[in-house]
Amino acid sequence: MAQLRKYFSQWGASNGISTDGGTNLVNDDICAFFKRWEVELRISSPHYPLSNGRAEAAVKSAQRLLRMNTSVRESLECDKMSVALLQYLNTPLCGANKAPAQLATGRQLHDGVPTARQN
């Protein structure tokens, strides 16, 4: 809970969290914490697979990002990987019409790609 509290204090509380029902996110303490912060807990199951599909899609995106922007001997701490991450964070999510950076910070991040001044 301390990590979630720290995250919520820095970035704001989420409207909802999707989980596969793992015991770390459905115990009484964490459910009470989410209730205090007014966070909806959505549990996926074979009947509600949406959150599981989103997680799998995110993992595939991360794997592709790593594979295309690093080599076996290359560190993650390189300009190519940093630019790729920034571009990913500025790419609108399907269905949300906002990029992860906009959802987290309320604005696009400067990533070196030319954009209109109002953006």
Instruction: Give 48-100 pLDDT, tens digit per residue.
Output: 555 567 677 778 888 888 888 887 777 777 788 888 888 888 888 877 788 88
Query: Using an 8 Å Cβ cutoff, are 51 and 18 in contact?
Result: yes
In this prediction, residue 119 carries a pLDDT of: 60
For residue 52, the model assigns a pLDDT of 63
Q: In which element (H, E) is residue 51 found?
A: helix 50-69
Tell me what percent of the residues of the chain surpass a pLDDT of 70. 85
Burial readout 60-83 (b: 16 or more C-beta within 10 A, e: otherwise): eeeeeeeeebbeeeeeeeeeebee
The structure's pTM equals: 0.55
Separation of alpha carbons 54 and 18, rounded Å: 9
What is residue 32's predicted lDDT score, i.e. its pLDDT?
Answer: 93
pLDDT, tens digit (0-9, with 9 covering 90-100), for 55-67? 777 788 888 888 8
